[in-house]
């Protein structure tokens, strides 16, 4: 199978995956032995994936009580062709932002350079705290010359 056909099959498969629902994975909440209180559960959800700088990107959020941390995931958009050399390392410029919907406050923004090899890369954003019931919207952009970012977004509500 030539590279163009393989890329087309990979993009078609990713399009099908990208239209699926967001995933949630709750962590275990053990009971404290001495206090009898439970540890807050961390719930991880991810938004739809998108292609940026020739790579597959996705924005996820970890919510624990009244705190949220967004993190971006960058990976290859498809498998390399058999017999082809390993993909070259890419210098990426990543931008992560988080805003409290309806608060009027400016978004928290983080710019961070990253080096991408052929393994999945995770870019963590700052931890934010907000009152229960607040909706937090995050965006994750990846740029690499000559490609401009096309940010992916994800929104979570702190249900405490």
Residue closest to 59 by CA, chosen among 67, 14, 50: 50
pLDDT at 144 over 80: yes
Q: What is the mean pLDDT of the chain?
A: 81
What's 38-77+87-157's CATH class?
A: mainly beta
pLDDT in tens, 32-77: 445 556 678 999 999 999 999 999 999 999 999 999 999 999 999 8
Q: How far apart are CA 118 and CA 34, in angstroms?
A: 46
Please report the sign of the dihedral spanned by the C-alpha atoms of residue 17, residue 18, residue 20, residue 26: positive
Question: What percent of the chain has a predicted confidence (pLDDT) above 70?
Answer: 76
Q: How far apart are CA 134 and CA 154, in angstroms?
A: 14
pLDDT at 136 over 70: yes
The domain ranges of the chain are: 38-77+87-157
- The pLDDT value given to residue 84: 85
Please report the sign of the dihedral spanned by the C-alpha atoms of residue 149, residue 93, residue 100, residue 23: positive
pLDDT at 18 over 50: no
The model's pTM is 0.73
């Amino acid at each position: 199978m030539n590279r163009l056909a393989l890329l087309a099959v990979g993009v078609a498969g990713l399009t099908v995956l990208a239209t699926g629902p967001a995933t949630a994975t709750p962590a275990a909440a053990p009971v404290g032995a001495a206090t009898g209180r439970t540890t807050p559960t961390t719930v991880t959800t991810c938004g739809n994936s998108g292609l940026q700088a020739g790579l597959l990107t996705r924005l996820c959020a970890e919510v624990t009580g009244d705190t949220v941390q967004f993190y971006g995931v960058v990976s290859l958009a498809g498998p390399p062709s058999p017999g082809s050399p390993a993909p070259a390392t890419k210098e990426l410029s990543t931008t992560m932002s988080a805003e409290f919907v309806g608060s009027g406050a400016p978004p928290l923004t983080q710019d961070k350079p990253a080096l991408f090899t052929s393994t999945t890369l995770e870019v963590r954003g700052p931890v934010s705290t907000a009152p229960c019931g607040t909706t937090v919207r995050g965006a994750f952009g990846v740029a690499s010359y000559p490609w401009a970012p096309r940010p992916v977004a994800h929104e979570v509500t702190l249900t405490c």
